Amino acid sequence: MEARPPPERGSLKIILTSLSSVLTSLDCILSFHLRSSWFWLASSDITPAEEREGARCITACLSPLLRSGRVEAEMPPPRTGRGLLWLGLVLSSVCVALGSETQADSTTDGLNVLLIIVDDLRPSLGCYGDKLVRSPNIDQLASHSLLFQNAFAQQAVCAPSRVSFLTGRRPDTTRLYDFNSYWRVHAGNFSTIPQYFKENGYVTMSVGKVFHPGISSNHTDDSPYSWSFPPYHPSSEKYENTKTCRGPDGELHANLLCPVDVLDVPEGTLPDKQSTEQAIQLLEKMKTSASPFFLAVGYHKPHIPFRYPKEFQKLYPLENITLAPDPEVPDGLPPVAYNPWMDIRQREDVQALNISVPYGPIPVDFQKIRQSYFASVSYLDTQVGRLLSTLDDLQLANSTIIAFTSDHGWALGEHGEWAKYSNFDVATHVPLMFYVPGRTASLPEAGEKLFPYLDPFDSASELMEPGRQSMDLVELVSLFPTLAGLAGLQVPPRCPVPSFHVELCREGKNLLKHFRFRDLEEDPYLPGNPRELIAYSQYPRPADIPQWNSDKPSLKDIKIMGYSIRTIDYRYTVWVGFNPDEFLANFSDIHAGELYFVDSDPLQDHNMYNDSQGGDLFQLLMP
């Protein structure tokens, strides 16, 4: 299906819009147009320009209705001349009356999409209630968006998570649990979000870390399937893990904590700054494009190492940084559930601490790791602010959907852990928000800016509250159907079981129902029945006890899989035997279990599994 640009806003459309308040139902319109003074158009002389306007009215009206299944009959041959304009006027009136209902299933044709993916970002943001972190530009986006308070990734590690949500399939379908295979060869030739948009007339572009680089995206970021042009990667990426961090001894090191003077690093820049500059250039080019665009921008920070402009440390004086509220390994945590954060231990500044493996705690005075994480988030926020401000300057904010999320979270000392690689909320809980012009926020007026750049160093800036919020549990596999539906494309069907032979389908729920805002003006929290909702996550392990490859086992080494269920009331995880040759879990071979009641134990420190009949519970709730 060919995507079309949105209809022009001519004077005729302005007149029709002004009449929308009296055209409140289809029955009303059908009787109204017969007796209306509009009927004179059927016998009037129509200019070519007016005829084209009539055609645009018909196209703008019927396209979303046909796509949503509201108009099933075959369309008659197009009329010409004055009849065409008359028909366009009537159909436009129908659209006005049905607009709010139709938009619940589809939005105007040809909306652009800006997808922002952040690496290792947990919901440590002002818009998620964090009082310490300064993230004014992301908070501003949230104030114009629908924000999901309880969104979860399907696996808390980069490549599997990204392949999962970009294909709309769970890790057990992509069969990617590590970094070492390409799903099109290893599992099935599954379509991706950008591929689907590309096949529907969009120009699709990738900047920065969108797919995980390497074999997991065929060393090409899934080109040419997903992208209209070769993806862009910042030239300074190659310095991320090299000796570019100046230590107290004045020498350069490959450290975990790496605040830098940007002018002093190789190329005098950082990857996320380069990505923002490239994305801005692409937006400027697409401003005059006749085709809608899908632009994915992947930011590196706050992924380790914490390499960021050193001035951002000033936002977080060490005296204001507290430790995690639960910095100890919980007594009831089964060893298989613990991740020993080996990648952090390999950094030079952490190696110098001589911490015992696997449970040795990081010294309290080195837990300034939290300071650097938060500083990296604020640095990231400035890049998001620059990008969104440009979208405003180019007058694209009224025609572009913006989706913002992260591939997974990151532990900052909770449970004695300093990484992702687990099924805890701190590793799987992610920010997720959608800005939809005219739907989650009013269209900006001429000269109005929705996203002016906000300086995180400006102490006068006030914390912005999110716009709409949903408390329902949702999953990142819902990104595919939701973006397709918001852009007016047909939502891919649900996948059969199994679905390895099906190229286009999705395993996540369509979230479009959350964008129906009629009769909700008094309540910014969207109603629902959250106890019916479940989010699934999983994580592999090579052994029952922590070892050197527990965090990132290769497929051949996976012996145990931890399947986790998150509901509004609890998180339940069962660790079962797993055969990597057959990709099969043996649910009769239970190695350990976890059960946390999040209302009374929100930090998930008290494992109640041995006090429950957890095995029966899990069998009932498998997806």
Active site residues: 158, 212
* Residue 100 to residue 508: CA distance in whole angstroms: 25
Cα-Cα-Cα-Cα dihedral sign, residues 490, 491, 497, 503:
positive
What ranges in 225-368 are assigned the alpha helix state H?
271-286, 342-345, 348-351
* Residue pair 6/111 in contact by the 8 Å Cβ criterion: yes
Beta bridge partners of 296: 115, 206
3-state secondary structure of 538: strand
From the list 443, 486, 382, the residue with the least C-alpha distance to 144 is: 443
Distance of CA 190 to the CA centre of its chain: 19
CB half-sphere exposure, 376, CA atoms < 13 A: 30
Distance CA 270, CA 260 (A): 10
Q: Is 219 exposed, middle or buried (0-12, 13-18, 19+ CB in 10 A)?
A: exposed
CA distance 153 to 159: 12
Contacts of 346 (CB under 8 A, 6+ apart): none
Helices (H) and strands (E) in the chain, counts: 16, 16
C-beta separation of 466 from 177 below 8 A? no
Q: Could you write out the three-class secondary structure of 323-354? A: CCCCCCCCCCCCHHHCCCCHHHHCCHHHHCCC
φ, ψ for residue 433 (rounded to 5)?
A: -150, 150
> Are the CB atoms for 586 and 600 separated by under 8 Å?
no
What is the rounded distance in angstroms from the CA atom of residue 141 to the CA atom of residue 467?
9
